[in-house]
Structure 1
């Protein structure tokens, strides 16, 4: 089977694109490739992450569904406790609801998007 398209980027909405981009830049050690008030493009580890300004952005609700999360990032780490503390140091907030804190931690980025810190699966 031949691919119809090639993966381009993950895009996140935020009221303040620059602020959210600074958070992900610090969290993931990505490089800023383009920056304006309306769009910031980050690149690292073979992944492109774009942050787009949406003036009326409403943060998703976690764990409820009044405002669905729509998508989230799973970020692989080697130590949950150390990584959680570092992410909070970058500006994340630990979500109150933690469905499996021994396996992954749910945090919220500065725009309210949930993301998970999780141990990388075994390559076997």
Structure 2
């Protein structure tokens, strides 16, 4: 018997509404909340939440001193098209040079690493 049920994955960030808006566009989700906390309802997936964190310092990838601690894997059918779309929304490339791999690494607008993974 489980002790608990997993709730939403929560990302600290400087602007919850803005970061939720980024992921809402990427995942086709809906965002609802305020400047302190915003929930993202992801169709057919795990919900995300974004929490205001004063003094937020984004992780660096790869870095032992500013460890990412976790990242999101986002499954896509077309890596090139998905890359173009997330870059237009404000993502930054961290590691996408090896086009033979089935994944590419980016940072969201707040600096959290995420991967686009071919499915």
Same fold, judged at TM 0.5 (above):
yes
Query: TM-score normalized by structure 2?
Result: 0.91
Deviations 1:89-114 (A, max 9, x none): 1111111x348542100010001000
The alignment of Structure 1 onto Structure 2 pairs a total of residues equal to 117
Work out the CA distance in 2 between the residues paired with 1:108 and 1:63: 11
Q: Which runs of 4+ in 1 moved over 6 A?
A: none
Question: Match of 2:34?
Answer: 36
Work out the CA distance in 2 between the residues paired with 1:113 and 1:15: 12
What runs of 5+ residues in structure 1 fail to find an aligned partner?
A: none
Query: TM-score normalized by structure 1?
Result: 0.88
What runs of 5+ residues in structure 2 fail to find an aligned partner?
A: none
Q: 1:8 to 1:100 in 2, by over 3 A?
A: farther
Pick which of 54-63 and 99-108 moved more: 99-108
Work out the CA distance in 2 between the residues paired with 1:119 and 1:36: 33
Pairwise CA distance, 1:5? 1.1
The reply to whether residue 118 of structure 1 matches residue 98 of structure 2 is: no
Pairwise CA distance, 1:46? 3.5
RMSD over equivalenced CA pairs, Å? 1.4
Work out the CA distance in 1 between the residues paired with 2:97 and 2:38: 32
